Amino acid sequence: MADPGAREPDAGRAALPADTRFYARTGPHGLEAVERASAGRIVRAPDPKALFVSLAPLGAAGPTHVSFADSRRHAEALRATLAGAVLVGPELEEAAPPGTAVILCEHPALAWKRVAELFHPLPPLRPGIHASAVVDPAAQVDPSAEIGPLCVVGPSAEIGPRCRLGPGAIIGAGVVVGPDCRIGPSASVSHALIGARVVLHAGVRVGQAGFGLATGGEGLSTLPQLGRVLIEDDVEVGANSTIDRGALADTVIGAGSRLDNLVQIGHNVRLGRCCVIVAQAGISGSTVLGDFVVVAAQAGLTGHLSIGDRARIGAQAGVMRNVEAGADVVGSPAMPVRAFFRQVALLQKLVRGGSKPARGERTD
């Protein structure tokens, strides 16, 4: 049942998030508890004793909800909000309605994350091995780990402290999973060493053979794939993404990186720290990305490329050459943003010019 303290949205307002059928809820929490969780500072408190039951977006929030705004484009919604408290940066402090408590935050979106974890923490671990799981006698499973229904843990695999394996997860022989990792339902991991606090969502495939072929007189021959996958600390991999093991070198996913759903990482690829790879992007074998690289949705990178630190690859770009550090490229074949749009403008001009009737030509 919905929390009776939560305000129902008015007609035409957005529905409230965090349905308690799916998300655990703590509280209610006072304004000071929200302040501590946010790492911000209360600068306005019309009712210091107010209690809050959850979070909500600006357009749906009521007096018992906490909301946030992290950009000037939210200023109008902030002025109209009915939220009891808001998390904002200094530039939006004055836009909050008079009756709304204001918590000033350096990074409002990050503060929102922290407050969300206060109200809606992850379900607690249930240490132990489910009766239907199959764990090889030679595997090492920390007593604090949770091994869910129908999981398989292969010989010599290691599952670290406080890990959670969702239903049907498969951990192959020799795989090492570091502490505080979450392996989602039906995910599979082989030929891999995984660091701490890594999240693999449902259906992720790590360590399958890379796509290596040789041609000969008898047709195609699949080449051996003898490398590993190394996933460093604090990486998150979205549902149904795939990370191939290396052929001879290792495939490496750098610390703090985020891979969206349906991402393909080829063999021997190396991602630097905090890379962001968006849905349906694909990176071919032996391409190396520097730190803080962003690859947008459906972009494709051919093999053996070098992508510099903080480069940004636009959506649906086709990258066939190296990209310098800090560069923004779009299009297929990919090119610098300014060059791409100059070409688009020129093409549009030529099309418009070609559509004009010649002198003396009839248009009817």
Domains of the chain: 29-119 (3.40.1390.10), 187-338 (2.160.10.10)
At 284, the amino acid letter reads S
Task: Tell me the pLDDT tens digit for each residue of 223-257.
Answer: 999 999 999 999 999 999 999 999 999 999 999 99
The answer, yes or no, to whether residue 269 has pLDDT greater than 70, is: yes
Q: How many angstroms separate the CA atoms of 282 and 316, rounded?
A: 10
Please classify residue 364 by burial: count the beta carbons closer than 10 Å to its beta carbon, then call 0-12 exposed, 13-18 middle and 19+ buried. Answer: exposed
Q: Which of 122-131, 261-270, 299-308, 334-343 has the least mean pLDDT?
A: 334-343
Please report which confidence band the pLDDT of residue 52 belongs to, taking 50, 70 and 90 as the band edges.
very high
Task: Tell me the pLDDT tens digit for each residue of 279-336.
Answer: 999 999 999 999 999 999 999 999 999 999 999 999 999 999 999 999 999 999 999 9
Phi first, then psi, for residue 200 (nearest 5°) are: -115, 115
Question: Average of pLDDT values for 42-67?
Answer: 95
Q: How many angstroms separate the CA atoms of 111 and 192, rounded?
A: 34
Residue 271: partners with Cβ closer than 8 Å, 6 or more residues away: 252, 253, 254, 257, 265, 277, 289, 293
The answer, yes or no, to whether residue 38 has pLDDT greater than 70, is: yes
Which pLDDT score is estimated for 364? 46
Which residues are catalytically annotated? Answer: 267
Percent of the chain with pLDDT over 90: 83
The residue that leads in pLDDT, 347 or 49, is: 49
Please report which confidence band the pLDDT of residue 344 belongs to, taking 50, 70 and 90 as the band edges.
confident
SS3 readout for the chain = CCCCCCCCCCCCCCCCCCCCCCCCCCCCEEHHHHHHHHCCEEEECCCCCCEECEECCCCCCCCCEEEEECCHHHHHHHHHCCCCEEEECHHHHHHCCCCCEEEECCCHHHHHHHHHHHHCCCCCCCCEECCCCEECCCCEECCCCEECCCCEECCCCEECCCCEECCCCEECCCCEECCCCEECCCCEECCEEECCCCEECCCCEECCCCCCEEEECCEEEECCCCCCEEECCCCEECCCCEECCCCCCCEEECCCCEECCCCEECCCCECCCCCEECCCCEECCCCEECCCCEECCCCEECCCCEECCCCEECCCCEECCCECCCCEEECCCCEEHHHHHHHHHHHHHHHHHHCCCCCCCCCC
Which pLDDT score is estimated for 251? 98
The answer, yes or no, to whether residue 354 has pLDDT greater than 80, is: no
Peptide bond into 28 cis (omega under 30): yes
Q: How many angstroms separate the CA atoms of 2 and 191, rounded?
A: 45
pTM of the entire structure?
Answer: 0.88
Interaxial angle between packed helices 108-119 and 31-38, expressed in degrees from 0 to 180 and rounded to the nearest 10: 120
The answer, yes or no, to whether residue 7 has pLDDT greater than 70, is: no
Task: Tell me the pLDDT tens digit for each residue of 138-188.
Answer: 999 999 999 999 999 999 999 999 999 999 999 999 999 999 999 999 999
